[in-house]
């Protein structure tokens, strides 16, 4: 089963990632990985950190002459900002500056400091930082290359920022090309303009904004995941992966939220006999997953992000060194990370799906994986 592990601090020397159980013979395109990393850095509302970094992954193991060898693939992404943190972060650091004791509500600071018994939440903030999502995107790019061999694509677009909602998407072609051309990765031009306005207002008032992204997976055959065991249910696997992305507080599959307040007759996708005699659905309110399995339709996921918890005007908190009431620490942070969050969720979904597929198909080589997938029926 395809699995990942990552390490790295926001201002440490580098981010490290390993993806294991990738079959041999997969073309691993370093340029594609880097283009995915660039997509994560874009979008109005990102912090000044994005001007410091030039995210680029170095492939240091598991790939030879652009092909996976079947061994674990290891990646490195350098943190340029380490230059300014050398004496604070790292194994040989001696600096005790940059303490973080006025813990930020909504961030990992307080619970992390209590859990690991730190008197300074810097260790927590460094690892909990969404900086680590750069490595998630790089590893996700390898998962996307595995999925591409099976004809599967993963894309995303912004559907809400603050109170501004995009109109429902009816055209799921070339989603990433169209979304990436927009400042906030929104496919609805009128909504995009309003979203830009909302981000500017939040920036001026030292505040932050959340929102939602829709992730669209095309080309998945029927029958990935299984109803036979809780941990094989594809909706659960995807929700867990997306829900683990920093800032995500809710995950929806298809029309899950609206459907909860409707009659069943208005929710479930009726099944018809097609002209070719196959059973098919004309609607996709289930978002491509029924009974914990893909049903052959597009898989539609929505990730809901909370506003970034680092605020210019810190919220009320307690300073864990003085045990006095304080204003939360303010650090450089994004005003709105929703456009980037969509790209990160694509990676999380690609990895979850690649993992579920590799669990189902096994296979030592890409050719073997492809042959096994081709044998799967997509409809009856
Ligand atoms: C991020 C890097 C971080 C933050 C952001 C995401 O860099 P720095 O802390 O140096 O500004 O900009 O992370 C957060 C907002 C957060 O709360 O963790 C990145 O590379 O995506």
Q: Which residues contact 122 (CB under 8 A, 6 or more apart)?
A: 88, 98, 99, 100
Does the pLDDT value for residue 25 go beyond 90?
A: yes
Q: What is the mean pLDDT of residues 79-90?
A: 93
Instruction: Give the orientation angle of helix 338-361 with respect to helix 366-374, to 10 degrees.
Output: 80
* Per-residue pLDDT band at 179 (split at 50, 70, 90): very high
* Per-residue pLDDT band at 216 (split at 50, 70, 90): very high
Please name the residue whose Cα sits nearest to atom 1 of ligand 1: 131
Ligand 1 centroid to 331 CA: how many Å? Answer: 9
Mapped to the 3 state alphabet, what secondary structure does 345-356 carry? Answer: HHHHHHHHHHHH
Q: What is the mean pLDDT of residues 13-26?
A: 98
Please name the residue whose Cα sits nearest to atom 3 of ligand 1: 131
Q: What is the mean pLDDT of residues 51-77?
A: 97
3-state helix, strand, coil in the chain (%, to 5): 35, 20, 45
Does the pLDDT value for residue 377 go beyond 90?
A: no
* Per-residue pLDDT band at 96 (split at 50, 70, 90): confident
From residue 262, alpha-carbon distances to 164, 257, 320 in Å are 24, 10, 47
Q: Residue 155: CB within 6 Å of ligand 1?
A: no
Share of the chain above pLDDT 70, in %: 99
Does the pLDDT value for residue 378 go beyond 80?
A: no
Q: How much is the mean pLDDT over the chain? A: 96
- Per-residue pLDDT reduced to its tens digit, 135-154: 999 999 999 999 999 999 99
Return the pLDDT at 296. 95
Does the pLDDT value for residue 236 go beyond 90?
A: yes
Return the pLDDT at 249. 98
182, 39 Cβ separation under 8 angstroms: no
Return the pLDDT at 90. 85
Q: What is the mean pLDDT of residues 102-114?
A: 98
Q: Residue 10: CB within 6 Å of ligand 1?
A: yes
Mutational test site, ligand 1, from 108, 112, 129, max ligand atoms within 8 Å of CB: 129
214, 300 Cβ separation under 8 angstroms: yes
Q: What is the mean pLDDT of residues 367-373?
A: 98
Q: Residue 193: CB within 6 Å of ligand 1?
A: no
Return the pLDDT at 338. 98
* Per-residue pLDDT band at 251 (split at 50, 70, 90): very high
- Per-residue pLDDT reduced to its tens digit, 273-319: 999 999 999 999 999 999 999 999 999 999 999 999 999 999 999 99
CA distance 112 to 87: 23
For the whole prediction, is pTM greater than 0.95?
yes
Does the pLDDT value for residue 350 go beyond 80?
A: yes
Ligand 1 centroid to 129 CA: how many Å? Answer: 6
At residue 305's C-alpha, the angle toward residues 202 and 243, to 5°, is 160
- Beta pairing class for 293-294 and 289-290: antiparallel
Q: How many other C-beta atoms lie within 10 A of the C-beta of residue 380? A: 8
DSSP classification of residue 218: E
Q: What is the mean pLDDT of residues 215-227?
A: 97
Does the pLDDT value for residue 379 go beyond 90?
A: no
* Per-residue pLDDT band at 321 (split at 50, 70, 90): very high
CA distance 355 to 143: 8
Return the pLDDT at 94. 86
Return the pLDDT at 29. 98
Q: Residue 80: CB within 6 Å of ligand 1?
A: no
Q: Which residues contact 150 (CB under 8 A, 6 or more apart)?
A: 219, 357, 369, 370, 373
- Beta pairing class for 164-165 and 153-161: antiparallel
Return the pLDDT at 95. 76
Return the pLDDT at 331. 86
* Per-residue pLDDT band at 355 (split at 50, 70, 90): very high
In ligand 1, the atom with minimum distance to the C-alpha of 125 is 18
From residue 311, alpha-carbon distances to 67, 207, 314, 327, 336 in Å are 44, 6, 5, 10, 11
Return the pLDDT at 334. 95
Which residue in the block uniquely carries the two structure tokens 């927590």? Answer: 124
């Amino acid at each position: 089963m395809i699995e990942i592990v990552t390490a790295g601090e926001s201002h440490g020397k580098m981010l490290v990632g390993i993806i294991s159980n990738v079959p041999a013979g997969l073309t691993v395109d370093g340029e594609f990985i880097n283009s995915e990393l660039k997509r994560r850095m874009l979008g109005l509302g990102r912090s000044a950190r994005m001007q410091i970094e030039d995210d680029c992954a170095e492939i240091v193991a598991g790939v030879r002459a652009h092909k996976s060898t079947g061994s674990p693939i290891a990646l490195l992404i350098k943190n340029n900002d380490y230059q300014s943190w050398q004496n604070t972060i790292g194994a040989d650091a001696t600096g005790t500056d940059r303490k973080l004791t006025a813990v930020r509500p909504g961030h990992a600071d307080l619970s992390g400091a209590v859990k690991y018994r730190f008197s300074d939440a810097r260790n927590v903030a460094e690892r909990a930082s969404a900086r680590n999502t750069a490595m998630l995107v790089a590893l996700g790019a390898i998962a996307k290359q595995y999925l591409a061999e099976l004809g599967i694509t993963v894309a995303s677009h912004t559907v809400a920022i603050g109170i501004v909602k995009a109109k429902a998407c009816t055209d799921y072609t070339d989603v990433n090309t169209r979304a990436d051309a927009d400042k906030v990765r929104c496919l609805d031009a009128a909504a995009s303009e309003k979203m830009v306005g909302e981000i500017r207002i939040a920036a001026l008032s030292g505040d932050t904004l959340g929102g939602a992204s829709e992730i669209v997976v095309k080309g998945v055959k029927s029958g990935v995941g299984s109803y036979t065991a809780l941990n094989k249910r594809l909706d659960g696997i995807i929700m867990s992966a997306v829900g683990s992305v920093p800032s995500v507080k809710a995950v929806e599959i298809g029309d899950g939220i609206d459907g909860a307040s409707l009659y069943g007759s208005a929710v479930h996708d009726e099944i018809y006999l097609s002209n070719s005699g196959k059973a098919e659905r004309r609607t996709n309110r289930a978002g491509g997953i029924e009974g914990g399995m893909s049903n052959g339709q597009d898989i539609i996921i929505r990730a809901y992000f909370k506003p970034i918890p680092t605020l210019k005007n810190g919220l009320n908190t307690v300073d864990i060194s003085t045990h006095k009431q304080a204003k939360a620490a303010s650090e450089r942070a994004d005003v709105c990370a929703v456009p980037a969050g969509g790209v990160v969720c694509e990676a999380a979904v690609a990895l979850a799906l690649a993992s579920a597929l590799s669990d189902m198909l096994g296979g030592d080589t890409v050719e073997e994986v492809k042959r096994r997938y081709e044998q799967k029926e997509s409809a009856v």
